[in-house]
Amino acid sequence: TQLLEQSPQFLSIQEGENLTVYCNSSSVFSSLQWYRQEPGEGPVLLVTVVTGGEVKKLKRLTFQFGDARKDSSLHITAAQPGDTGLYLCAGHSGGSNYKLTFGKGTLLTVNP
């Protein structure tokens, strides 16, 4: 079973601060996705990274896929209260049987 370890599990910061969330595995993934989930809602895709070393930016969010495709990070610059939520990474191991393995998530709270 492929496992994805996310850290930290909880993060509480002040508005305007920067933060980084990590997603690590001992397994190689063909692609990795980051989702954000708000209370009472299902997860919503933020980004998919496919190539080792790939960096994608989404406004104040920067996503990086490790060179060996075993890890990823999410960096948020100048966090805002609207960034509050559960951030989940999910890996796809490849092949035609599309099945995602999820990490346990990082619960981010951005205080005004």
Partner 1 sequence: DADVTQTPRNRITKTGKRIMLECSQTKGHDRMYWYRQDPGLGLRLIYYSFDVKDINKGEISDGYSVSRQAQAKFSLSLESAIPNQTALYFCATSDSYTEAFFGQGTRLTVV
Q: Which residues are near partner 1 by CB under 8 A?
A: 1, 9, 30-31, 33, 40-45, 48, 88, 90, 92, 97-100, 102-105
Instruction: Give me the DSSP letters along 44-112.
Output: EEEEEE-STT-EEEETTEEEEE-TTSSEEEEEESS--GGG-EEEEEEEE--SSS--EEE---EEEEEE-
Give 12 or 30: the residue with its C-beta nearer to partner 1: 30
Give 41 or 67: the residue with its C-beta nearer to partner 1: 41
Residue 99 CB, nearest approach to partner 1 (Å): 6
Residue 37 CB, nearest approach to partner 1 (Å): 8
CA distances (Å), origin 38, targets 5, 17, 42, 47, 108: 20, 20, 7, 16, 10
Give 2 or 14: the residue with its C-beta nearer to partner 1: 2
Give 22 or 102: the residue with its C-beta nearer to partner 1: 102
- Residue linked to tokens 């999820």: 102
Residue 33 CB, nearest approach to partner 1 (Å): 7
Residue 30 CB, nearest approach to partner 1 (Å): 7
The count of other CB atoms within 10 Å of the CB of residue 33 is: 22
